[in-house]
Amino acid sequence: MRAMLLVAAFGVLATPAQAAEAVREQAGKLADGTAVEAVRLRNSRGIEARVITYGATLQSLIAPGRDGTRAEVTLGYDTVAEYEARPNYFGVTVGRYANRIAGGRFSLDGRAYQLTQNDKANSLHGGTAGFDKRNWRIVSVSSGPTAKVVLGLTSPDGDQGYPGKLDVTVTYSLDDAGDLTISYDAKADRPTIVNMTNHALFTMAGDGAPEGTSRQVLTIPATVYTPVDDKLIPTGELRPVAGTVFDFRSPRLVAAGLRDGRDPQIVVGRGYDHNFALDKGQTARPELAARLEDPVSGRVLEVLSTEAGLQFYSGNFLDGTIVGRSGRVYRMGDGIALEPQKFPDAPNRPNFASARVDPGKPYRHVMIYRLSVAR
């Protein structure tokens, strides 16, 4: 019966040889008339992702719960026009450098570089016109054991102040087991820095659930995190999470420490907006970086990554002024970001792992959104 329902919903019968489907479609136009495309990735288990070329954005991710009810588990907008007019990083690809660089400045091989500043004095997520504000090209689309779309972008030398030309691809792949894999690859023609990730905000109860993420349970396998100053720049310290509201080594309610003003880091961050140094470090293959579960619906998200850091952002700047999908007003905690990446401001912190990329030594980051149901 379940298989018949899926066939009715998707119009395709999954077979062992072709378990997932990719469908290319038009998504709308930007203000200047540029056409934006979309690709839907679907598997036989009721999981569906929609990727749009503007910002190489994960616009939608739908997953079933324990009772089979499918729900949208990310925050976002209904239209391309909203992504362009009201940018809030929902599901976008961020780069060249995810997160913050202090003062928008860094040095490489003795030369100083000034980036565009879009977070007061800092550079955030690549600057004023980062990768999230570009219309990427579709390189290929394919169905089969995995449904896949590859998107490409060329960032010229000097783009937002970064040195070197960068040729970038982002690949979204959905398999029948429930893994949405996102692979970032970049080649530079001169030394530069690169740090890319996805900025989806998740709620496993479903977008629009009145309680937001407050009842969801989060696990982050990290013994230390990087405290920040009043500009949300890491101080360089690696501080133990033990005995603090930053201890997610065992499952913990998202809301448990969200408003705990006894911790100065919660006050300065307006909630959680901090990088966790994952115990696994940088790995050759994706390993667990975070797990988020909604006990009511049973929906589970596991985030896996090859990178050593994870930024946990509790949606602190969702202040009720942002109207998202289906006309919903978004508030703090309605969705949370779990962003695998290199550490913030690493180019200015010698004790953090380097973000340097050289010619002949390409950048690669592989992360997985693994969707399942807790019984």
Can 339 be counted among the known catalytic residues? yes
CA terminus-to-terminus distance, the chain:
20
Can 199 be counted among the known catalytic residues? yes
CA atoms within 13 A on the CB side of 110: 0
DSSP per-residue string spanning 218-278: EE---SEEE-B-TTS-B-S--EE-TTSTT--SS-EEGGGTTT-TTSHHHHHHTS-EEEEE-
| Residue 310 identity | L
How far apart are the C-alpha atoms of 260 and 268, rounded to whole Å?
11
Q: Which helix (H) or strand (E) holds 330?
A: strand 329-331
How far apart are the C-alpha atoms of 91 and 255, rounded to whole Å?
22
DSSP per-residue string spanning 304-319: EESSSEEEEE--TT-E
How far apart are the C-alpha atoms of 324 and 201, rounded to whole Å?
12
CB neighbour list of residue 12: distance below 8 Å, 6 or more residues apart: 21, 42
Which pair of tokens denotes residue 303?
A: 């985030």
How far apart are the C-alpha atoms of 111 and 105, rounded to whole Å?
11
Produce one character per residue of 207-216: b if its CB has 16 or more CB atoms within 10 Å, e if not: bbbeebbbeb
User: One of 21, 37, 84, 199 is an active-site residue; which one?
Assistant: 199
Max Cα–Cα distance, the chain, nearest Å: 65
Alpha-carbon distances of 319 from 100, 210, 211, 331, 337, rounded to whole Å: 21, 15, 15, 5, 16
Which residue numbers are catalytic? 199, 339
